[in-house]
């Protein structure tokens, strides 16, 4: 089981790292004619954005699921305290959500501010 997981992850990483190199073939061809093509950086940007926000959503989903689990169990044991338990659950969910929001801010910076344009091949 572990072998399959490791194999899948390694092949994904290899494909991810090789993708911009393959796409840079076209950039190299355009560069020989004197026109500088910076488009290869954007393949890395698109890849990074998708992976970043996807992994953040994964972690947030699991964390908030555990928080909601605790809250629902607490309410089922003691229905009278449901007001306090729900307030605490909402606070906990907002704190966990904020970690995904940090990842979203980094992705927004990558996509819209484009700080890596100057390093483009």
Partner 1 sequence: MKEAPLLIHGLTLGSWHVPAFVVYTWLVMGLLIALSLAVRGSLKPIPGGLQNFVELFIGGLRDFTVNTMGPHGLDYFPLIGTAAFFILLSNLIGVIPGFESPTANLNTTAACALVVFTSTHIVGLKHHGFKYIKHFMGPVLWLAPMMFFIEIIGHIARPVSLSLRLFGNIKGEDLVVLILFLLVPWLIPSVMLGLAVFTSVVQTFVFCLLTMLYISGAMEHAH
List residues binding partner 1 (CB under 8 A). Answer: 90-91, 94-95, 97-98, 101-102, 104-105, 108, 112
CB of 107 to partner 1, least distance (A): 10
CB of 44 to partner 1, least distance (A): 20
- Cβ atoms within 10 Å, residue 15: 11
C-beta of 19 vs 53, nearer to partner 1: 53
Buried b (16+ CB within 10 A) or exposed e, 72-93: eebbeeeeeeeeebeeebeebb
C-beta of 28 vs 111, nearer to partner 1: 111
CB of 85 to partner 1, least distance (A): 15
Contact 36, 5 (CB under 8 A): no
């Amino acid at each position: 089981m572990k072998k399959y997981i490791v194999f899948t992850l390694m092949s994904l990483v290899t494909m991810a790292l090789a993708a911009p190199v393959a796409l840079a073939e076209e950039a190299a061809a355009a560069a020989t004619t004197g026109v500088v093509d910076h488009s290869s950086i954007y393949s890395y940007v698109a890849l990074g954005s998708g992976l970043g926000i996807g992994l953040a959503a994964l972690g947030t989903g699991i964390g908030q699921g555990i928080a909601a689990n605790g809250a629902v169990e607490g309410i089922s044991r003691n229905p009278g305290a449901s007001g306090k338990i729900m307030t605490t659950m909402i606070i906990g969910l907002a704190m966990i959500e904020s970690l995904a929001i940090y990842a979203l801010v980094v992705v927004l910076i990558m996509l819209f501010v484009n700080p890596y344009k100057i390093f483009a091949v």
